[in-house]
Amino acid sequence: MRTTYMPFEVPSGRQIRVIMNTDAKNEADDQFAIAHALLTPRFQMKGIVAAHFGTERVADSMLASFEECERVLSLMGEAGQVPLLKGATSSMPDEQTPVLSEGAQLIIREAMSDDPLPLYVVFLGPLTDLASAYLAEPAIADKLTAIWIGGGAWPKGEWEYNLMNDIHAANAVMASPIPLWQVPRNVYSKIRVSLAELALKVKPCGELGEYLFTQMIELNDRLGRSPGRFPKGEMWSLGDSPVVSLLLDEQPYDYELKPAPRITPDMHYVHHQNERLIRVYHDVDARFTLEDMFAKLALFASGQRQR
């Protein structure tokens, strides 16, 4: 049985099922969201799915994500306790053709189960596995809620990395009846954290905290040698972490229901209909998100030391 080292329990009636889909080796922030989710007692983690992030950086990005997820699970003593599955190895070739994977099959299986707990499927990268699961089994649409860290700022849209890696999948999901919470780029970027803050509040948290901090510093240093606006040198955005905090408190005054757009190849939004609505966040609570994560990492490290 999984242990989170939290000094409290969440009533069974308030627990939820969660599947996390993550392009974990893309940058350095997915790892924080994975650890945060695994330390959250409200979540019954039904699986982590490794996602692709194109071929620009590595030949097999899904496998790189899979191996990074294995590393985080091992550091947390969760290897073999939480199912880890492989997602699609590439984006969809068009909006009608699924790229089936172990991850897509997990989504279908959990959605079609008779478990009464609500199911949330959260995406820290492209929507390939969700779109593929839906195209393979449309009946899942009213049996889960999806949260996506992705897409450009409303109302016009813009270049955004997670969207770029599968525009076809995003359009398939937008056109579906799947309940969708979108946290676009201008919103997820609000989870700003300084490297000094991470050195003080994350690095001391045992082997896990050391790894989370070190892998970010290594990537920060490596990317910082090249020209460009990212990273900025002394800060990062833990933009994937709202998938955890929004499932603790959905911030009902910080989103609007908007007609789902169609997305062009250059990642702009075309507002073409008024019937299919999605939830679009215009704010996330950075303080709540970060402090909950810091507290859980510290409690986890303290519990490990006492073993």
* pLDDT tens for each residue of 86-135: 999 999 999 999 999 999 999 999 999 999 999 999 999 999 999 999 99
Q: Which one-letter DSSP state was computed for residue 278?
A: E
φ, ψ at 141 (rounded to 5°): -55, -40
Query: Considering the chain, what is the average pLDDT of its residues?
Result: 95
Q: Which residues pair with 45 in a beta bridge?
A: 18
Superfamily name with CATH number, domain 14-193+238-283: Ribonucleoside hydrolase-like (3.90.245.10)
Q: Which residues pair with 84 in a beta bridge?
A: 48
| pLDDT over threshold 60, residue 16 | yes
The answer, yes or no, to whether the previous bond of 155 is cis (omega within 30 of 0) is yes
Written as one string, the DSSP assignment of 41-90 is: TTEEEEEEEE----SSS-S-HHHHHHHHHHHHHHHTT-TTTS-EEE--SS
Strands 277-281, 145-149: pairing kind: unpaired
Strands 43-50, 16-22: pairing kind: parallel
Going by C-alpha positions, the residue among 184, 199, 209, 288 that lies closest to residue 236 is 199
| CA distance linking residue 34 with residue 60, whole number of Å | 21
pLDDT for 229 equals: 61
137's tokens: 């089994």
φ, ψ at 275 (rounded to 5°): -105, -45
pLDDT for 233 equals: 79
* pLDDT tens for each residue of 26-85: 999 999 999 999 999 999 999 999 999 998 888 899 999 999 999 999 999 988 899 999
132's tokens: 């593929």
Going by C-alpha positions, the residue among 171, 159, 160 that lies closest to residue 130 is 171
Global confidence as pTM: 0.95
pLDDT for 85 equals: 98
CB burial string 212-231: b at 16+ within 10 A, e below = bbebbbebbeeeeeeeeeeb
